[in-house]
Amino acid sequence: MTSDPVIADLLALEADASLLEEEALGERVEALEQLAFIYQVFQARGKAAQAYGARAAALRARLEAVNARYFGRVRHWMRQDQVFGEPVRALLGRYSRYGQPDDSALHMDYEPADALVDGVLELDAFAGSPSVEHPDIVHLEDTPVRVLLDLVDHVPLEQGDCFCDLGAGLGRAAIVVHWLTGAPACGIEIQPDYHAFSRRLAASFGLDQVTFVLADAREADLSAGTVFYLFTPFKGRILRAVLDRLRARAQQGPITVCTYGAVSLIVAQEPWLQAVAGGKPHEFALEIWRSA
């Protein structure tokens, strides 16, 4: 028995055999976060805690190896069975608090569902970098999975629709929405390295209804899109130009615009869009708008 709480936490994690069960992803993600803190503490203590630091690092490697096996199994299932709809929803819902009775409507936290998607898609294999520079282009960030669960719950997507992610990054949102709904999806991305990665990713899963286009959203063909998504991919003059393009697209037929992040506060000022939920928009909530 030790009186040192950090050592006690490490010993408890080492003794928890349930963390080695592949489907215990939620518990393992939490344990890995705790281990990162524990390791930092031991590093700060210097040589006196070196042995404990090594044990923390070794446990972290074991848990990450279990994650890799689990992600590989899910990846194989997705590729071999071409799974869509409810089975995907059930899997992601298992590792997200979205929709729970005590859950907040705001989408702020990184969840095990995000770790699962990142691992299955092997996003850590991306080795490129942005090459198109512009002060209005926002750095790459991934949409939380819970936002996409919220989106497919409140925006019916069918085969006749097309989900269009403006500023698609590595393709994560378009692929996950397609997996959840089976509806066609496309991504518009200006960065060549991001675009190349997303195309290879979709091809590796045999997703022939998910396409990625290398283009400036101000100039891209938006005619096929019926549901457009923006996670604050750009701001300022670029955003203004894209919103004008979307307004023109809405004159050809009704569209839905979904936003997450600071972009929602700008979109709220567009007179041609009507908020589905009403009320004041929040940058950490999914906002849904329909063309008037």
* Mean residue pLDDT across the chain: 95
| pLDDT higher than threshold 90 for residue 235 | yes
Q: What is the 3-state secondary structure (H, E, C) of 242-282?
A: HHHHHHHHHCCCCCEEEECCCHHHHHCCCCCEEECCCCCCC
Determine which of 17-31, 181-195, 234-248, 275-289 has the lowest per-residue pLDDT on average: 275-289
- Residues in contact with 52: Cβ distance below 8 Å, sequence separation at least 6, in sequence order: 7, 10, 42
Residue type at position 127:
A
Q: Give the pLDDT of residue 104.
A: 76
DSSP state of 191: -
CB contact burial 175-186 (16+ within 10 A = b; e otherwise): bbbbbbbbbbbb
% of the chain beyond a pLDDT of 90:
92
Say whether 63 sits in a helix, a strand or coil: helix
Q: What is the 3-state secondary structure (H, E, C) of 95-151?
A: CCCCCCCCCCCCCCCCCHHHHHHHHHHCHHHCCCCCCCCCCCECCCCCCCHHHHHHH
pLDDT in tens, 159-179: 899 999 999 999 999 999 999
Q: How many CA atoms lie within 13 A of 161 on its CB side?
A: 20
CB contact burial 255-283 (16+ within 10 A = b; e otherwise): bbbbbbbebbebbeebeebeeeeeeebee
Do the beta carbons of residue 284 and residue 106 sit within 8 Å?
Answer: yes
Residue type at position 35:
L
pLDDT in tens, 110-137: 899 999 999 999 999 999 999 999 999 9
Q: What are 81's strand-pairing partners?
A: none
- For residues 143 and 28, what is the distance between their CA atoms, to the nearest angstrom? 22
Place 1 in a pLDDT band, splitting at 50, 70 and 90. Answer: low
- Residues in contact with 215: Cβ distance below 8 Å, sequence separation at least 6, in sequence order: 188, 189, 190, 221
Q: CATH topology for 89-291? A: Rossmann fold (3.40.50)
pLDDT in tens, 54-106: 999 999 999 999 999 999 999 999 999 999 999 999 999 999 999 888 787 77
